[in-house]
Every structure is written in structure tokens, then in C-alpha cells.
Amino acid sequence: MRVVPVSAGDGTRRGILGTGIEQGLLLKPVTYPWAMELYDQAVANTWFPNEVQLGEDLGDFERMSDDERRALTFLMSYFNPNELLVNKALAFGVYPYVNAAECHLYLAKQMWEEANHCMSFEYVLETFPIDREAAYASHVTVPSMAAKEEFEIRYIKRMTEQTLDITTTEGKQDFVRNLIAYNVILEGIWFYSGFMVALSFRQRNLLRNFGSLIDWIVRDESLHLKFGINLVLTVLEENPDVATEEFAAEIKQMVLDAVEMEEAYNRDLLPNGILGLNADYINTYVRYLADRRLDELGFGAHYGVANPAKWMATANDTLQLVNFFESINTSYEVNARQG
Amino acid sequence: MSCLGFLTEQQRAALAASSSTDAAGVPLSAFTSPPASDGKTARVRALAASADPRIRESAALSYRAPDDVLVELAGDADAAVRRCVARNERTPVAVLHRLVDDPDPFVRGWVAAHPAVPSHVLDRLGADPDAAVRAVVTWARGWA
């Protein structure tokens, strides 16, 4: 991905970061073709939740064990509000500071997709007999949840309550920090940990249509990740003052800290395992994911673990992120009480 | 992360109220999508003709793809596009029959995983030379 800041026509050079009404209003010439391609792909992918016949899964829901129903409830309490949180992050922490019209187009589509995901989880809540308050409250008593929430609160407060001065190195670094927190960590690692649990129902011949809904959501998320990573890399390439060794070390540590938080959370939530999964299994997948994100950011892998879940196999093309075809290999089965 | 940590007491009370039996009976939305139209079908046809295989994949996955588009994409040079045709839950059985002999084992695997796959097709794929395809058949037979 070659990035060439263009002349603003007044002798100055502009890059992907910028604010002000006079910028980002002309689509041509496209400066960042990767953003335009992602917009085209996102538009082509457009789907709606009611196209999935979720009601057909009600029979499965009735037959599921209490543990399995609790797992589904827990997932809804996690995903539903977080889609809206990501939307806030995009609106306040990303869109206002990006200069290129093609990036704005993609961000507008991504924000619609977050809304579509929120409504998809709403569709689940209103199709299955899940108590909404119980779903939301299921996280409150989990100690490690507070650490994750505190982490995200720190960044969303900065995004919603402060205006960044992106003409300064500090402002640009704050922009990148916010993007890492929301795009790479929340969307790119924590969400995928949840997707693994969500898709494990289908592995056990349960909730087939719910699995299809998650497939569509993951398809969108793979593009969100691609955009976010490209945005970070472009900012770093265009602003050499940002990518100091100290800052790079800080970003890498953010990701490693996020892995620790997620691992603690999974141990708290899955002490006995559910759905053929246990905390160790999911946490190995979390480390695998973190390695991929670190690799995409240019750091190289840190944990060096293999993907334990072939059914969450990734390919070089992240559009093929979920391939449950490989899941049917019995090696994915674990004793839920192991570890 | 439930985001309960962000909510005020008033918002938590509103959440509790929205979970009450009476409130829960009123759906938030009709969850309707825009109706199918000739324009939408034309759009899928245009996507299917794209030079970009990633766009053709989207056409192959579309629930609005007409049968003739799915037939055409079932013969796409790009295996990833053909996999999307096999993966599309609305792909008709006649197209699945065409894909059962696909050289790509992932295509054959998605045929085996298809909700409408006929039992005789599953029987045939149960003898597939690829072990992963045979494993998908075992899983597919697990649906009641």
C-alpha cells in the first residue's frame, strides 16, 4: 500500500489526517484507493437481519441446556451495547480527524453497519425469550469485566469529551491510541473471542440461522479491521514524527495488556467450560488473534501460537475469516473441564 | 463488556422498565428490509459481472441473486466465488448438483454443509476423497 500525500493546491501537502470544512469535500482524485475499494466491497456486502430466518432456531433454543441458554444470553449482553459504543468511537474519535472523502464514505458505511449489527442483536433479543435486563446484568458481577470497561471508558471519554489537535505529534498519537483501542483491540480481538463462542453453537448442530447471522457480521468486521489497520499504517507512514520507538512500544503493550484482560475475563466466565470450549482454548485463540493484529501492524508475532480453532481459520484474505468447513475436524473438540 | 458501567441510575431504571413483561411485548422494530425490486436484482447482476472477484463473491452470497446468476457464478474461474455460491443458503439444489463435482474441496465441503443438500448428494460426498469433506458430511447428518 503506497501512500503519497497530495498537494493541497496551495503549496502545502495534506495527508489522511485533517480537520476543517474546506477539506474532504471532493471525491476525485481518490488519494487512498484502498479506502474506495473497501467502500465498494462494503456496499456489495449489504445485508439485513430479517433476511435470516431466526425464528427457525426457536426449536433449538427450547431444547438447549441452561448453560447453553446462559451462554447465548451472555453473548447478547456483550455485543449489543458494544456495537453502539464502536459507533460512538467512529463518530467522535475517527471521522472528525480524517481528511479524505473516500475514507469518509467508508466510515459512513461502517457506522451504518454497526447500527445494522446492533439491530441484528436486537432481532435476536426479540426472537428468543431472553430477558433483556438479565442479559445486561450478567456481566456486572464479573470482576475482570471492570478492567475491560475501565480500559474502554478511558478512550471513549477522550474521544467524546476532548478535541484532538492533530497538527501536533501528541494529537496524532492520541488519534492512533484511540484507533488501536477500538478497532484493533475491541473489534479485532475481544469481539472475535465472542464470535468464537457464538459460532460454537452451530458446530454442535444448534442455532444454524443464528450462525448465519454471525457469519454476515464477521464478514463486515473483517473489512472494519482492514480499514482500521490501513488507517493506522497510513498515519504512521505520512507522519514519521508519530512512530517513535517509545510510541511503538506503547502500542504493542496496549495489545498485550488487552490480551491479559481478555484471558482473565474468559477464566472468570468459563470456569467449567461450555459448548465444548474452555477458557484455555479460547485464550489460545485470543493470543493467535493478537499475533495476527501485531503482524498486521508491523510488529511481528509475539506469542507464536498456532490457531487452535480451525473453524475460526483465517486466510491471507481476511474476507475469508470464518470457515466452519474446517471446523468439522474433530480436533476442535476439547474436554470442557480441561485446564 | 455490558456497558452497564457507563449507565446512570436513571438509565438503569429505564433498562429495567424496558425488560418488564408489558414493555417486552412491544418490539423495538419491525426489522423489515427494503423490499425486493427489479432495481435490486439489476444491482446483483451488475455485481456478478464485476472484474473484481471479491465483488463477485458478494453477488454469489446475496440472498437476492437470481438463479441464473448463481448458475453463472457456479462456473466462475475463481474458487472463492464458487465457494460463496455453495455457501449461499438460497442457492437452489440444481446448482448444488453442479458443484458437487467441483475440483475445489472447499466448494464440495460447502455443498455438504448446505441446509438444503439432498441426502443422496450427502451420500455421494460421504465417499469424497477429501477427509475434511467427509467430516462435513458427518456434521451435516447431525441436523435433525
- In chain A, beta strands by DSSP E: 6-7, 13-14
The dihedrals phi and psi of A17, each to the nearest 5 degrees, come to -90, 140
Which of A278-287, A324-333, B26-35, B52-61 is predicted with the least confidence, judged by mean pLDDT? A324-333
Q: Is residue B117 situated within a structural domain?
A: yes
Averaged over B114-142, what is the pLDDT? Answer: 92
Q: Is residue B123 situated within a structural domain?
A: yes
Q: Is residue A70 situated within a structural domain?
A: yes
Residues of chain B positioned with their CB less than 8 A from the CB of A122: 28-29, 31
For A203, name the nearest residue in chain B, comparing CA atoms only: B139
**Chain segment B15-60, per-residue pLDDT in tens:** 667 665 445 566 777 777 777 788 889 999 999 999 999 999 999 9
Q: Do B2 and A319 touch (CB under 8 A)?
A: no
Residue A104 belongs to domain with CATH number: 1.10.620.20
Query: pTM, whole model, 2 decimals?
Result: 0.88
Domains of chain A: total: 1
Q: Do B29 and A119 touch (CB under 8 A)?
A: yes
A155: annotated active-site residue: no
Q: Is residue B125 situated within a structural domain?
A: yes
For A207, name the nearest residue in chain B, comparing CA atoms only: B143
CB atoms within 10 A of CB A262: 25
Q: Do A44 and B47 touch (CB under 8 A)?
A: yes
Written as nine digits, the cell of A212 is 448465519
CA distance B19 to A130: 10
The residues, any chain, with a CB within 8 Å of residue B16's CB and separated by 6 or more, are: A133
3-state secondary structure A266-310: HHHHCCCCECCECHHHHHHHHHHHHHHHHHHCCCCCCCCCCCCCH
Higher pLDDT, A179 or B10: A179
> Residue B15, exposed/middle/buried by CB under 10 A (0-12, 13-18, 19+)?
middle
Cα torsion through B50, B53, B58, B63, rounded to 10? 80
Residues 146-165 of A with CB under 8 A from B: 146, 148-150, 152-153
Q: Is the confidence at residue B14, as pLDDT, over 60? A: yes
Residues of chain B positioned with their CB less than 8 A from the CB of A126: 27-28, 31
Q: Is residue B106 situated within a structural domain?
A: yes
Contact by Cβ (8 Å): A305, A320: no
**Chain segment A167-190, per-residue pLDDT in tens:** 999 999 999 999 999 999 999 999
Which of A148-152, A259-263, B73-77 is predicted with the least confidence, judged by mean pLDDT? A148-152
Per annotation, catalytic residue among A32, A78, A95, A123: A123
Q: Is residue A1 situated within a structural domain?
A: no
Q: Is the confidence at residue A335, as pLDDT, over 50? A: no
∠ CA(B7), CA(B8), CA(B13), 5° rounding? 95
Q: Is residue B101 situated within a structural domain?
A: yes
**Chain segment B93-102, per-residue pLDDT in tens:** 999 999 999 9
Q: What is the span of the domain harbouring residue A40?
A: 6-332
Supply the pLDDT for residue A195. Answer: 86
Q: Do B19 and A131 touch (CB under 8 A)?
A: yes
Q: Is residue A46 situated within a structural domain?
A: yes
Partners of A13 in the beta sheet? A7
Q: Is the confidence at residue A133, as pLDDT, over 80? A: no
Q: Do B136 and A78 touch (CB under 8 A)?
A: no
Q: Is residue A115 situated within a structural domain?
A: yes
Q: Is residue A18 situated within a structural domain?
A: yes
Q: Is residue B10 situated within a structural domain?
A: no
Q: Do A140 and B132 touch (CB under 8 A)?
A: no
Closest C-alpha among A215, A46, A39 to residue B33: A46
Q: Is residue A320 situated within a structural domain?
A: yes
The dihedrals phi and psi of A137, each to the nearest 5 degrees, come to -80, -10
Closest C-alpha among B139, B19, B23 to residue A132: B19
Residue B121 belongs to domain with CATH number: 1.25.10.10
For B105, name the nearest residue in chain A, comparing CA atoms only: A325
Domains of chain B: total: 1
Q: What is the span of the domain harbouring residue B133?
A: 37-140
Give the closest-approach CA distance of B73 to chain A in angstroms: 15
State the DSSP string of A159-212.
HHH----TTSHHHHHHHHHHHIIIIIIIIIIIHHHHHHHHHHHHHTT--HHHHH
